[in-house]
Structure 1
Amino acid sequence: MMFSATFTSLCLAAVAVALPAEKRAAPTVTDILNYALTLEHLENAFYAEGINNFTQQSFIDAGLPGFAAGRFSEIAQHEATHVQFLTGALGEDATQACDYNFPVTDAKSFAQVSYLLENVGTSAYSGAAQYLSGGTLTAAAAILAVEARHSAWVNSAVLKANPWNGAFDTPLDLNQIYTLATSIITSCPSSNPALPVKAFPALTFGTDMTAGQATTVSFNGSDASSANGMYVGFISGMNTTIVPVQNGQVTIPDGLMGVVYAVATSSDSMTSDNVTLAGPAFLSFDFKSDALLL
């Protein structure tokens, strides 16, 4: 199954948001905790809305196991606890919840967006760990582990695909995560503290995401057919495969499995922020227990 080529393009369409942001060289611990709280607020709102809208029968009608409703209620409690924990740690400096637009139409799309958010959360905590130490790092690691468990359960028990991506998950930096989050955030309180981040343009792909085949790639509402020296980096675990864009198309590399983040870059050797043109985009190459793609 490959839902990301079409479904996630909708999730990650460019949205202008009023989320305070500024670029600073070195984020403080308070910055990182508010960055984490921003994501936890989003997840908390998502699950609160979902468990209010979808019953056990909703999941059965969508071809999914009915017991998922109860488990998603448990996940909702976890995310609410994360919000309470981080808010308590930050005190009066804590950022507030924003307004969101979740691309959910039924129980199945709810489960798919859940899988996306839990993977992004795992990548966020992994990438931000470098800025933390001591007890703060330990607490963040404890939350990261739960996010990863959520992700594994959703994709295996509910969506009937792989519970993991490989031997390593994929750390993403602050700007990459912020770019993914702003596709869902529509507005935020003006009193929220500024985050030391910036959002890149959304990166979208065509519907054909078959390994070895070319697919269209675009950002800023136009295709990349005229872009000279543009590449797409496919980030999976600790590895990145960079492929040139030719006439607005990129060839999907062989061997991609599980969640992959794609970044448009001006470099043929790196995907760091200083050479990023757009993205990341969330892609999912689901696979069976025999390692064959679904």
Structure 2
Amino acid sequence: MRTTLVSLAFISLCVASPLASIERRQNVDDATVLNFALTLEHLENAFYHDALAKYDAKAFKKAGFPRHTRDRFAEIAAHEKTHVKFLTAALGESATKPCQYSFPHTDPKSFAALSQILEGVGTSAYTGAARFISNKDYLTAAASVLATEARHASWVASAVNKFAGWSGAFDVPLGLNEVYTLAAPFITSCPSTNPPLPVKAFPSLAFTNKPVPGHTTTVERTPANAPATYISFFTGLDKIFVPITNGQVLVPEGLSGTVYAVATRSGEETTDDTIIAGPTILLFERDSRGNLID
């Protein structure tokens, strides 16, 4: 199993939203979904641009990567820049502007690990947001971007980080608030003129020891004024609910790849009204025989 400094960063960074203009609205229209997507694309665009400016070919070679690795990341960076231009053109004057960001990588290896995380979240974000899009042309365009994000995630996981390029037969669709909770720690400030988005960040969720399938782990914290009674593990299209007993939870057997966990007061559903904290990202990397990789 692999729990990197990247996944720990999602736990340790504060998820309080820096976006003062954010407010909740009942209706989510196509423009809102596109601006939400653009918010994520701005983040990814900045992530790759800044990292490639920081780490040259020599840094990648020193980190043990083959020569072509940085060049492929440069291609991904170009894709993300194109996504930003595409969505900005579609939204026109109402397009959200880029924010200021902070990313917890210190070398090409931690950058590659974080890239795998961000591309996975991006894939889950597009998958989950598809149901909100009514315009078929927009839906087709979003599906095209989704496919490219999934290819990015697969290449980074397998060719660069040497893990499986998938988590199973299905990917996890995430809701708007769940995605924003994962993205918010990287956003330090945003223009006050940006259009409001109907999202909020949930409190962070953490475990005191590394979760391992089939073993018990301790839930470190959930808001005291709204105690959680279950941890829900998102794996593919399934959500597995496990009760919290004396602050501990038994991690289900068989979890593989990227899994998202939330603390919830319900043992049957995860909604904006039942989620107490999270999601946090758990990585259960396995070899081709299904064995967990330490």
- TM, length-normalised to structure 1: 0.94
Secondary structure of the 1:196 match is coil
2:47 equivalent in structure 1? 46
1:270 equivalent in structure 2? 269
Conserved in 1, the CA contact under 8 Å of 2:155 and 2:165?
yes
Paired AA for residue 109 in structure 2: K
1:172 equivalent in structure 2? 174
Range 7-16 or range 193-202, more displaced: 7-16
Conserved in 1, the CA contact under 8 Å of 2:128 and 2:173?
yes
2:149 equivalent in structure 1? 147
1:33 equivalent in structure 2? 34
Paired AA for residue 171 in structure 1: P
Query: 1:203 deviation in Å?
Result: 1.1
Conserved in 2, the CA contact under 8 Å of 1:11 and 1:184?
no
2:128 equivalent in structure 1? 127
Q: Distance in 2 between matches of 1:208 and 1:151?
A: 23
Q: Distance in 2 between matches of 1:76 and 1:206?
A: 35
Structure 1, unmatched stretches of 5+, are none
Q: Distance in 1 between matches of 2:271 and 2:175?
A: 9
Q: Distance in 2 between matches of 1:118 and 1:56?
A: 22
Q: Distance in 2 between matches of 1:259 and 1:228?
A: 26
Superposition map of 1:70-109 within 5 A? 70-109=71-110
Query: 1:61 deviation in Å?
Result: 2.3
Aligned length: 290
Cα RMSD after superposing both structures: 1.7
Paired AA for residue 248 in structure 2: Q
1:28–1:229: structure 2 CA closer, same or farther, 3 Å change rule? closer
Conserved in 2, the CA contact under 8 Å of 1:14 and 1:202?
yes
1:21 equivalent in structure 2? 22
Q: Does 1:110 align with 2:111?
A: yes
Conserved in 1, the CA contact under 8 Å of 2:17 and 2:201?
no
Secondary structure of the 1:277 match is strand
Paired AA for residue 192 in structure 1: N
Range 200-209 or range 152-161, more displaced: 200-209
1:190–1:229: structure 2 CA closer, same or farther, 3 Å change rule? closer
Superposition map of 1:240-255 within 5 A? 240-255=239-254
Q: Deviations over 1:125-156 (max 9, x none)?
A: 00110111310000000000000000000010
Conserved in 2, the CA contact under 8 Å of 1:98 and 1:188?
yes
Structure 2, unmatched stretches of 5+, are none
Conserved in 1, the CA contact under 8 Å of 2:48 and 2:77?
yes
Secondary structure of the 1:274 match is coil
1:204–1:65: structure 2 CA closer, same or farther, 3 Å change rule? farther
Secondary structure of the 1:164 match is coil
Q: Distance in 2 between matches of 1:279 and 1:115?
A: 19
Q: Does 1:279 align with 2:290?
A: no
Counterpart of 2:187 (choices 169, 185, 188) is 185
1:236–1:58: structure 2 CA closer, same or farther, 3 Å change rule? same
Q: Distance in 2 between matches of 1:124 and 1:53?
A: 27
1:197 equivalent in structure 2? 199
Query: 1:60 deviation in Å?
Result: 2.9
Q: Distance in 2 between matches of 1:143 and 1:227?
A: 38
Q: Deviations over 1:159-200 (max 9, x none)?
A: 001101111111001111111110111111111110011110
Q: Distance in 2 between matches of 1:64 and 1:204?
A: 32
Secondary structure of the 1:122 match is helix
Secondary structure of the 1:256 match is coil
